Structure 1
Amino acid sequence: MSRILLIHSSVHGYTQKICEYLQRKLAEQDQQVTVTSLAEVPDLAEFDKVFIGASIRHGKHRPALYQFIETHLSALETKPSGFFSVSLVARKSHKNTPQTNSYMQQFLNQSIWQPKLLQVFGGNLNYQSYGAMDRNIIRFIMWLTKGPTDPTTKVEFTDWQKVDEFAVQMIKA
């Protein structure tokens, strides 16, 4: 049994949902998993493995993610660890791998931490949960990228089988 810390950087709560799903899957395999937000991380020394999930906000991972990595680089490099990114871009089959996803590549170019275990998951589109400005920006981006623009759209683009496979990789890490 491993003590696993699963940290999320989530704006609308969807990355947290994926982390909580992973927590349940890992618990079924007798793993002890703590899920926490980037702002409330406990002492990393208490855990055997550390994984981070981060969403994209206005085309970027949040600056706090990079600050956390700088502060905790030593622990991230000396423990089994990994990173996954959640975005609507990953809904497309040609942009849903770490190698083909521009946000993951941007992360790897900007981050001093280069985790070995990487994954990309499609996000959640729920126009009614966004404020007016975000709703209009996202609808415009969806229009540009040939995605759904109906303001009543509520759809998860997450491949949950892929999340299950990532849980297995986390155990093996």
Structure 2
Amino acid sequence: MIRYALKCDKDHKFESWFQNADAFDALKAAGHVVCPDCGSTTVEKTLMAPKVRPARTAAAKPDMPQPTPAPLPAQAAPSQPTTAPHVAPPPEVQEEIAAEIAKLRAKVEAESDYVGEDFAKEARAMHLGDAPERAIYGETKLEDAKELIEDGVPVMPLPFTPTRKVN
């Protein structure tokens, strides 16, 4: 998994995780990388500082003097926040989104088999060739979903909770 700092053409900045660099490129080319603020699909990677841990050997030597950082000059606090608060879309946009999710739910339920809590087991079996490939949906624990992704099993979360089917 790799995390990228991203920016859309309207200068909204956000981060997202991808299976690898090729997965980002493929998703971007297909128009699936979308700005969460404005919905733009014109998204680019931006510079991101790596997360670096200090060396263990340096931390293990208490006799070495640690440099003291120079005091920073006092600055006035900004009068306004530096980032805009997240604003919910207008009601008509929310209704449109809800309608699209309802259409997606109907399509998934009509064209896929519900496997319930056996989702991870079924998806892995199909990926390994132990079961015939078919469209499935269901539920799984977050840990199991992460393992599927790490193993290269093509899965994705749905924007709705599946309707539980009962005998």
Query: Which bracket does the TM-score occupy, shorter chain normalised?
Result: under 0.3
When the two structures are superposed, what TM-score results if normalisation uses the length of structure 2?
Answer: 0.22
Q: Which structure is higher in helix share?
A: 1
The structure with higher relative contact order (CA 8 Å, sep 6+) is 1
Q: Which structure is higher in strand share?
A: 1
When the two structures are superposed, what TM-score results if normalisation uses the length of structure 1?
Answer: 0.22
